Amino acid sequence: MIYLLHIFILIGIYIILSVSLNLLAGYTGILSMAHAAFFGVGAYVVALLALNVHTPFILNIFLAIIAAGAFGAIVGIPSLRIKDDYFIIATFAFQIITFSVLNNLVSFTGGPMGLPGIPQPVIFGLKFDNHWSFLILTTILAVFTYFIANRIVSSPYGRILKAIREDEVFTQSLGKNVAAFKVKIFMVSAALASIAGVLYATYITYIDPTSFTVNESVFIISIVIIGGAGNLKGSVVGAIVLVMLPELLRFIGLPNSVAANIRQMLYGGLLVVFMLWRPRGFIGEYSFNRNNEK
């Protein structure tokens, strides 16, 4: 039972990550390779505050959201000058820089040794220190993230994001400040991703830079693509499928030495299959190919 609860908690965390990236990639058409960096910012901010300042969890998550939002603006500003493949490379560079800072700033982040002993959440006297209680907290925050994202995409603001995705020049010709919209959605996406980082850090109670690498960004992108970009429900479906998929390997007797490699092969194979024959994913409304074909 504990094992199943653990899987459900991870699904909730990745739902938050994929929903936040879907706002950026699926609804605005900006594919970013730096999403694991936002994930890491949330995790490290809450860990450092809890370990060094001993501030309450509610304040820590609020500060993590602000810090990640500010970092999102820093990453988003280059999108005003570069586009398409060049922008993907730029976000890839930001991801590498973030990992290098976390890995080398040993006196502050713990470097490769990480930060152990992160306190688990305490909210209004309630301590979330077991799997059941943490699953409830994760579910609440995942529902909150989905609600915020859904309100955004259902609003006039969301329709402008879709217009930017379909034709940025035409949207600008209608008098819309495309630059401001792109930076703002970067900030919102990063802020929501930091919530997942906060949950991850306080659930595992230990973090190190290897949890926030470019491979993690690719995994989050995979969830969005396979679940369906441009559809928030697709993010939920994708998170369930890709988190559960490697766990199925445990039941076919594969040795640990090859299980991780086969997991990566499955992710890669699924991406190839979906990009060739189902570029919109399971229930997506947008594909990342040049012609945006079905």
**Cβ contacts of 204 within 8 Å, gap of 6 or more:** 118
Q: What is the model's pLDDT at position 86?
A: 84
Give the integer Cα–Cα distance in Å for 157 and 162: 9
Give the integer Cα–Cα distance in Å for 245 and 230: 23
What token pair was written down for 140? Answer: 């609440």
Give the integer Cα–Cα distance in Å for 60 and 201: 12
Enter the pTM of the model: 0.92
**Cβ contacts of 93 within 8 Å, gap of 6 or more:** none
Give the integer Cα–Cα distance in Å for 144 and 2: 24
What token pair was written down for 158? Answer: 């969301």
Q: pLDDT per position in the chain (294 positions), as tens?
A: 888 999 999 999 999 999 999 999 999 988 889 999 999 999 999 999 999 999 999 999 999 999 999 999 988 887 677 777 788 888 999 999 999 999 999 988 999 999 999 999 999 889 998 999 999 999 999 999 999 999 999 999 999 999 999 888 888 888 888 889 999 999 999 999 999 999 999 999 999 999 999 989 989 998 998 898 999 999 999 999 888 877 776 666 666 667 667 777 777 777 787 777 777 888 887 776 655 544
Q: What is the model's pLDDT at position 250?
A: 67
Q: What is the model's pLDDT at position 133?
A: 94
Break the chain into its structural domains and give their ranges.
2-211
Give the integer Cα–Cα distance in Å for 69 and 86: 22
Q: What is the model's pLDDT at position 167?
A: 87
Task: Write b or e for each residue in 39-71: b if 16 or more Cβ atoms lie within 10 A of its Cβ, otherwise e.
Answer: bbbbbbbbbbbbeeeeeebeebbebbbebbbeb
